[in-house]
Amino acid sequence: MLIKLEIRPNFLKKAILSAISLLIFSSPRAKEGLWLPPNLIDRQNDLEVSGLRLPIEKLYNPDGTGLNNAIVLFGSGCTAEVISSKGLLLTNHHCGYGTVQGLSSVKNDYFANGFFAKNNAQEIPCPGLTVTFIRKIENVTDKVLYYLPDTMKNKIRDSIIALRVAAVEKDYEKSTGLDATIKPYYNGNQYWVIVTETYKDIRLVGFPPNGIGKFGGDTDNWMWPRHTGDFSMFRIYAGKDNKPAAYSKDNRPYRAKAYFAINTSGYKEGDFTMVYGFPGYTQEYISSYQLKQVYDITDPIRIQARSIKLDIWKNNMDNSRDLFIKYASKFAHIANGWKKWQGEMWGLTTNNVIDKKRAYENKFQQWANDQPAKPYAGILPAMDLATQAVNDAMRNDEYIKETVLGIELVQQGATLDKMLQCFRSKMPVAQLQDTLKKLCNKGFYKNYDLATDKQVFRALMPLYFSNSTGMPAYYSRTYRGYNKNFAHWANDVYRRSAATGIDKMEALAEGAQAGDSTKILADPAWKLYTAVTEYRTKKIVPLMQRYYNKMNTLNRLYMKGQMEESPRHDFYPDANLTLRLTYGHVKGIDPDGPAGYSYQTTLDGAIAKDNPDIEEFKVPEKLKELYKKKDYGRWGVNGTVPLAFIADNHTSGGNSGSPVLNAKGQLIGTNFDRVWEGTMSDYYFDPSVCRNISIDIRYTLFILQKFGGAGWLLNEMKLVKN
């Protein structure tokens, strides 16, 4: 059965929702914005009017005591927060999912059973996982852009900037003894240096089973109301000097100078909240022409292809626990974007965002026409022409990436191609065999199922053929050779290719001789991979690269023009996975009308959804026993446990795991999602429907103590009440 997204019917107009909200309670409007920590001093008045009761210098300072020193980039795309002086980290369940998958097996199934260490000795090392602190952020625009006119040729301008960036980074690293990275903001109109410290010995402390941490699964993902206990806990370990160190049994828990106090008193609707973390990617200031590409090309193609792929994966995962473990993390990753893009398209349509962009552009164009000495009048017409010229290539490229390169065996053609380069390097046989063994990629095959991938091939290749307006000659020729029968083609590819299993790959490596490159040249997976990548390299990539280079210049000038045209507007830089603070208020919503209006969910709602026959809604027996006995300890409120809440903070991907703070800067929850109706906030923030979803810290502590039996961890936390 094809996976379908259930879209709520008869979504009420935003104006009605806003009116209902005002009748229920009165609070300030949502504050759109992803603010740079060093610039928060400029927003002090607005923050305080909104409700901040913390000295502004406590939010960010580079001396080690600011709250920025209690937040880390978790891995490469999530946020986590330090919640004890002993380096205890809190983040989302889904942020730790990939790491925990690598630690799990059928014997130690942490997805089914969870994991809670009973002491430090039981904490599990997590190879490859890192966390990064932000120690300092400084504006270095003057050092990067001095004497660089806007109209300078891109290639020359970019090369000068690259040299200056490298030099400034080196100076900061030398003066601080830490890592330094310079990133562009406002589409390259500003540059800021970020001084960081990365810890590499990270250990798993607590991970609830999927029946809590992933409760509701993909059905409830991006939805409200929500009953997902989306948290996990890790710990930072350091060397004797408290500095980053590779894993060692001699390492000790990181001694944190800054960590979050945890407020256990809760909140009420209208209370001030902040989210501090690493939002990943927004494009709030792009033109209508680029937004139309998202709406007409990229989002629809991704949704179409992933619907097919996810349906196959889900059916097979439902029938095999072993396959479920193999594909759980991959499925979650693919499904997350799939559902988000559907909400994004819905939001863009409902809000008429493209039309609003066009109206704004008309106003900008009128202003630009009156600035003959500045390079702004031709920007929007140039954007229009550039997008029209590349749309067909973009469409073809998206289909290649989501169909052909969405097949795991074709992806493994890249490994075969690396092996081929080893053969061609003419290295000695012993060295060749050793190098090839290292390339075999055991980690991939640990989480791969041939039969499932073969089904994906048979489903996605027809989609590619029916929608592509140009393809590699090898594809059309081979398709005809199999009498236009995708099933026959798949049978032959998955029978013959060495990339279908680790045994075949290792056999190829162990017995390799100098002349065996012909085996790879004849491999159908290698042929599929190289044919399509060469086609992209020759036919598509040059067009796309010229387009992106041109748009980089146009977007930089357009952003600068917008800031000049509206100097009093509060422009914030688009998200780029750097540290930001956003703020707003606890605020409810229900897209179906006032009858279901809410800002908080409880354990009652999770129990009501329990369905032992559906994996996504299967509540663990121990949690049901705790509920039956009302054994909540100190975490009970009105006969239940608060579970999740929503607020109107402006968040994005990467804010997963971010601390949600009250007016005093105390932790009240952990951000983990947005509501489906507001996912277009990466392009357009609508305060009537944009909401971030967070797990209540009291539910986290309840699960940790009463369900997980890890109450010992509470002893190292600073728990406070109002």
Q: Given 50, 288, 656, 681, which residue is catalytic?
A: 656
Q: Given 230, 271, 523, 574, which residue is catalytic?
A: 230
Say whether 503 sits in a helix, a strand or coil. Answer: helix
230 is catalytic: yes
Beta strands 131-139; 190-199: pairing state:
antiparallel
Say whether 261 sits in a helix, a strand or coil. Answer: coil
* Angle value at C-alpha 572, between 387 and 57, nearest 5 degrees: 160
Query: Which conformational region is residue 683 in: left (phi greater than 0), alpha (psi within -120 to 50 degrees), or beta?
Result: alpha
- Encode 99-152 in three state secondary structure: HHHHHCCCCCCHHHHCEECCCHHHCEECCCCCEEEEEEEEECHHHHHCCCCCCC
What are the residues facing 179 on neighbouring strands?
196
CA distance 495 to 366: 63
**CA distances from residue 298 to 337, 397, 554 in whole angstroms, order as listed:** 12, 10, 21
Q: Mark 200-236 as b/e (b = at least 16 C-beta within 10 Å).
A: bbbbbbbbbbbbbbbbbbbebbbbbbbbbbbbbbbbb
Q: Which residue has 């307006």 as its token pair?
A: 469
Are the C-beta atoms of 650 and 690 separated by less than 8 Å?
yes
Are the C-beta atoms of 702 and 632 separated by less than 8 Å?
yes
**CA distances from residue 360 to 32, 160, 354, 378, 556 in whole angstroms, order as listed:** 18, 34, 10, 16, 17
Sign of the CA dihedral running 114, 120, 122, 128: positive
Q: Which residue has 């030099």 as its token pair?
A: 167
CA distance 121 to 118: 8
What are the residues facing 674 on neighbouring strands?
692
What are the residues facing 133 on neighbouring strands?
72, 197
CA distance 88 to 92: 14
Q: Given 27, 50, 94, 590, which residue is catalytic?
A: 94
656 is catalytic: yes
The residues annotated with a catalytic role in the active site are 94, 230, 656
